[in-house]
Amino acid sequence: MKTLTLIISLLITGCAVSFAQCGKKVVLTTASTQHLDASGAVERTVDEKAIVEINKTDLAINVNDEHKMTGKIKSDTCNWKVPYKDGKSVIKATVTDEQGTDREVTITIEGKDGKVTLLFETDGMPDDRIRVTVVKFEEAS
């Protein structure tokens, strides 16, 4: 009975840790942007710094302090074994650019072997997907 209680406690603790980052405010910094076609092939790479801030309801993207977008998160799924190292989140949001244009986007944040990437996909634009690699991760308050 003690063994069963210990196993259940460990499982609950593991689940709590894996979802601990979900819903928290995070700031992700990137150093370059890859533009992909619909098949996932890299068409071009641009050296640019982007800062992506995400919380439970909103997101903000700032590229080189020149291009800024904000958005409202409509839905998200979160499944991380090790927070922001091994796992995946998928965010669906409406993003508004500086000109006031709204776009429906899907942002997939994926961690494999300690490397975290973000894939931005805009509805109706399958030939211009954007992938960035996170070089810095911070949990904000």
What pTM value is reported for the model? 0.80
Q: Which pLDDT score is estimated for 55?
A: 93
- How many angstroms separate the CA atoms of 59 and 27, rounded? 10
CATH of the domain at 73: 2.40.128
For the chain, how many structural domains are there in total? 1
When comparing pLDDT for 21 and 101, which is higher? 101
Using one digit for the tens of pLDDT, what is the confidence trace for 3-55? 333 333 333 333 333 334 577 899 999 999 999 998 999 999 999 999 999 99
Q: Domain range holding 123?
A: 2-139
CB 94 within 8 A of CB 28: no
In the chain, the largest separation of any two C-alpha atoms, in whole Å, equals 63
